[in-house]
Amino acid sequence: MNPSKPHAGGKQRLVAVTLDEESIGRSNPDVEHERQVAIYDLLEQNMFAPVGHAGGPYALFLSINGNRLVFDIRQEDGKPVVAHLFSLTPLRRIVKDYYMICDSYYQAIRTATPDKIEAIDMGRRGIHNEGSRILMERLKDKVKIDVDTARRLFTLICVLHWKG
């Protein structure tokens, strides 16, 4: 086991993630695949610790309410821990950029040369890293997460923004 990665059996982790279906809307197969992979990977390996709460493991319900992103954090048995609401404004530009480059990537993997696909994918990863960094900054006083957890949560936030 990699000592820098949190153990999957620890208490400071997510064991369930639910996206509000009302917030999602219709999505294409590529977006749905991103959602499924992000949730699977997130539940396999994550570090998630609400500040000031020693319990866990946790269940997370993500939704959008108006111009706010809602992190409804509960214990594994459903008992409420805390709900955090965040303005979506700081994430809007990066989410839009991420979708534009993802669209280019999905088109490229069907027709482009390997070099072009790799170049687009590098740009996609860079934007994804930036979105993850912004998310970690927004959560820093509320929920402690690692980089991989932030990356997967950013993907899920992008899915919530997708209105097909």
Give the tens place of pLDDT for each residue, 76-123: 999 999 999 999 898 889 999 998 998 899 899 999 999 999 999 999
Rounded to the nearest integer, the mean pLDDT of the chain is: 87
Residue 24's contacts (CB-CB under 8 Å, 6 or more residues apart) are 159, 160, 162
| Both structure tokens of 142 | 């509320």
In whole angstroms, give the CA distance from residue 40 to residue 49: 19
pLDDT score for 81: 96
Kindly give the residue spans of alpha helices, DSSP state H, lying in the chain: 21-24, 29-44, 89-111, 114-139, 147-161
More confident residue, 114 or 8: 114
First to last CA, the chain: 40
pLDDT at 163 exceeding the cut of 70: no
In whole angstroms, give the CA distance from residue 80 to residue 99: 33
Confidence of residue 9 (pLDDT cuts 50, 70, 90): low
Strands 14-19 and 58-65: parallel
pLDDT score for 4: 40
